[in-house]
Amino acid sequence: MNAEQKHDGRWGLIGPAAMLAVILVVVGWWLLRPEPEPTTVNPPPPVAAAPAPAPKPQATPSAEPLEYAHDGVPIRPASSAFVYDGGMMHPHGTTPEHERLYRENDLIGSLNGAMDGRDVARMRGLLKQYRDEYPEDANVMQDGYELIANCLEHPSEENRATAKKYYDERIDSGLRRYIRRHCLEASN
């Protein structure tokens, strides 16, 4: 055996022994480390007592006498302010005002479909019907649809300027995004 072989044998045992010593030191430190002091958690603030429930309202006088269904259960009057403390009620029936609102919503849906299809002739026919049946135009939508039809049929700077004015002034209109799409962002 030469000197190199003796040297390798001694150092070959030192490496694993040193590694074992390091592992023992780490494990010992982990087992013997001081425990952290428990932190105290502030107790939650006391919960305020829930308010007592409001007394059950009595039936308010109705302009209409109560009607009863065939099963003896009353039918709620059209006024949503009516309060009945006698238990369950059937919902009120569809009124002519409801039917009118449903027709207007269908007409607006048809106008939107024609607008999406860029069918200006159909839009103009539906718009005439809308103006005839709903002259009050509570949501001020007829002018907006007219602008969109004009922009689709005749894109011009004049129509764009009119649409821009509508867009800037009628910030409550549900048609603003369509005015922007079909008039302001459309290429001439």
Per-residue pLDDT, averaged over 118-135, amounts to 96
Q: What is the pLDDT of residue 89?
A: 78
**Region 82-88 average pLDDT:** 69
Q: What is the pLDDT of residue 46?
A: 67
Compute the half-sphere exposure of residue 160: CA atoms within 13 Å on the CB side of its CA: 9
pLDDT-based confidence at 182, cuts 50/70/90? Answer: very high
Comparing 77 with 40, which gets the higher pLDDT?
Answer: 77
Domain ranges (residues) in the chain: 96-184
Instruction: Please state, rounded to an integer, the average pLDDT across all residues of the chain.
Output: 79
Q: What is the mean pLDDT of residues 101-116?
A: 95
DSSP 27-59: HHHHHHSPPPPPPPPPPPPPPPPPPPPPPPPPP
Give the per-residue pLDDT at 52. Answer: 58
- Separation of CA 82 from chain center: 30
For residue 99, what are the CA distances in angstroms to 94, 102, 185? 7, 5, 37
The answer on pLDDT for 50 being more than 50 is yes
What is the pTM assigned to this prediction? 0.54
17 pLDDT band (50/70/90 cuts)?
A: confident
pLDDT of residue 1: 52
What sign does the CA torsion over 92, 94, 98, 104 have?
positive
